[in-house]
């Protein structure tokens, strides 16, 4: 293990490890920050889209156009990044959905749990599923009571599910790029350091060692180190 035990190798390995850790941690923090910024931007877009959908549905409901409500859900539900739009009852039954086959079924347990916890009008990350979900209560306002009566306070809950896939893909691409950049910087610095040490440290020291060995054997020896640094001054002595 002569290579690893040499001074140059020890310095290069130590510095490379420090650089890799420093740049790696910095890159990881930066990626986390970029992910947070992208997700916040997506949250804002989700809220804007969700509020627009809510107003469109409210207008159709006030006019008693139940079929138009379903058509709106199906039309908007086909847009890019929209996973599903649905309206479900307080007891968890899907009343309307952009996916017709979901009508009459029970809403998923997680969404029902959020409804019971009153988590309304705020995007909720479902990172494992790659989805942002927003719930909006459809209150039984005075104009709605003509059809729904005045007994219930809530006619239903609008759930908007938006895919995080595009954002996650961008974060993945950014991560790959930044880690490659970090690896490249570390490699360039390691090679540069190796060349510097070889030129200004390893070669002069090797010349000194060779000269001293010749002198010990009683042979004529002259130091050829011409630098003016510490190694050069050592050679002059």
User: Where in the chain are the domains?
Assistant: 26-170
- The predicted pLDDT at position 105 comes to 93
- The predicted pLDDT at position 106 comes to 93
Residue with tokens 């347990």: 109
Contacts of 71 (CB under 8 A, 6+ apart): none
Mean pLDDT of the chain: 79
CATH fold, domain 26-170, is Beta-Lactamase (3.30.450)
- Spatial contact of 133 and 124, defined as CB atoms under 8 Å apart: yes
The sign one gets for the Cα dihedral 96, 97, 99, 102 is negative
Confidence band, pLDDT 50/70/90 cuts, at residue 1: very low
Confidence band, pLDDT 50/70/90 cuts, at residue 56: confident
Contacts of 159 (CB under 8 A, 6+ apart): 84, 85, 86, 87, 88, 107, 111, 133, 134, 135
């Amino acid at each position: 293990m002569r290579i690893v035990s040499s001074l140059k190798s020890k310095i290069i390995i130590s510095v490379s490890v420090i650089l890799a850790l420093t740049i790696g941690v910095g890159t990881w923090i930066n990626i986390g920050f970029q992910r947070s910024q992208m997700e916040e931007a997506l949250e804002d877009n989700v809220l804007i889209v969700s509020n627009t959908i809510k107003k469109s549905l409210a207008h159709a409901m006030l006019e008693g156009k139940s079929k138009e409500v379903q058509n709106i859900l199906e039309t908007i539900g086909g847009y890019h990044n929209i996973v599903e739009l649905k309206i479900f009852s307080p007891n968890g039954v899907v009343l309307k959905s952009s996916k017709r086959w979901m009508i009459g079924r029970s809403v998923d347990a997680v969404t029902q749990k959020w409804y019971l916890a009153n988590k309304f009008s705020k995007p909720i990350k479902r990172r494992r599923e790659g989805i942002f979900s927003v719930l909006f209560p459809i209150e039984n306002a005075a104009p709605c009571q003509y059809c729904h009566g005045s007994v219930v306070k809530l006619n239903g809950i609008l759930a908007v599910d938006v895919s995080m896939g595009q954002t996650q893909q961008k974060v993945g691409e950014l991560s790959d790029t930044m880690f490659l950049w970090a690896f490249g910087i570390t490699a360039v610095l390691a090679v540069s350091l190796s060349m510097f040490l070889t030129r200004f440290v390893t070669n002069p020291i090797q010349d000194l060692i060779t000269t001293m060995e010749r002198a010990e054997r009683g042979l004529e020896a002259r130091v050829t180190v011409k630098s003016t640094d510490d190694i050069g001054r050592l050679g002059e002595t």
